[in-house]
């Protein structure tokens, strides 16, 4: 159902690269679900997907974790419109989507997830006010980034705290050869 919905909406509003929509299941859906290979959120966890675009990784994770509250934010209102339409069409009840910039949003969350939004240090400066100080999952509250490529220089300032896990550990499709989950406790 999700692939068809994204294909339909992508024709109207570019939420996934038009060159890449044919690879939606692997490059977007499965990639989003890699977070669930790294952590199993306990019921009651609050997760914010910053820069969600068309709802990735938030929507697939919300379907997988129905007892977790997901807030999806993006500064582009037309993308949030798509997210809300997909949420309605799928009947997902644990997602709220808001068109707002992260630095203007208030609230507290156990985890911030993001998929290749911007450089890590800049992203943290814009979002650290959103992390709740109380942790109750197996991992301390913090950031879960889905990133690709060479991250050594970008993550150097966080080297003592960061965990980088290759997504190819769980998925053997060639697309995942350079993809990583970056966990940074806060």
* Residue range(s) defining the domain that contains residue 126: 2-185
Q: Looking at the DSSP assignment, which residues form a beta bridge with residue 95?
A: 70
Q: What is the pLDDT of residues 109-160, one digit of tens each?
A: 999 999 977 899 999 999 999 999 999 999 999 999 999 999 999 999 999 9
Instruction: List pLDDT tens digits, range 55-106.
Output: 999 999 999 999 999 999 999 999 999 999 999 999 999 999 999 999 999 9
User: Which pLDDT score, from 0 to 100, does residue 43 have?
Assistant: 98
Nearest CA-CA partner of 145 in 126, 162, 170: 162
Count how many domains the chain has. Answer: 1
> Which CATH number goes with the domain that contains 169?
3.40.50.150
- What confidence category does residue 1 fall into, taking pLDDT thresholds of 50, 70 and 90? confident
């Amino acid at each position: 159902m999700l692939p068809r919905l994204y294909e339909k909406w992508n024709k109207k509003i570019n939420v996934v690269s038009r060159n890449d929509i044919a690879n939606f299941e692997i490059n977007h859906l499965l990639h989003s679900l890699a977070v669930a290979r790294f952590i199993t959120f306990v019921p009651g966890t609050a997760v914010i997907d910053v820069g969600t675009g068309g709802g990735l990784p938030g929507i697939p994770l919300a379907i997988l974790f129905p007892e977790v509250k997901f807030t999806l934010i993006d500064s582009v209102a037309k993308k949030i419109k798509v997210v809300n339409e997909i949420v309605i069409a799928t009947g997902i009840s644990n997602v709220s989507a808001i068109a707002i910039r992260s630095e203007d949003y208030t609230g507290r969350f156990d985890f911030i997830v993001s998929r290749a939004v911007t450089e890590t240090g800049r992203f943290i400066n814009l979002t650290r006010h959103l992390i709740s100080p109380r942790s109750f999952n197996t991992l301390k509250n913090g950031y879960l980034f889905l990133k690709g490529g060479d991250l050594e220089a970008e993550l150097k300032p966080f080297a003592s705290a960061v965990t980088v896990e290759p997504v190819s550990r769980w998925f053997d499709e060639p697309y995942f050869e350079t993809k990583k989950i970056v966990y940074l406790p806060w």
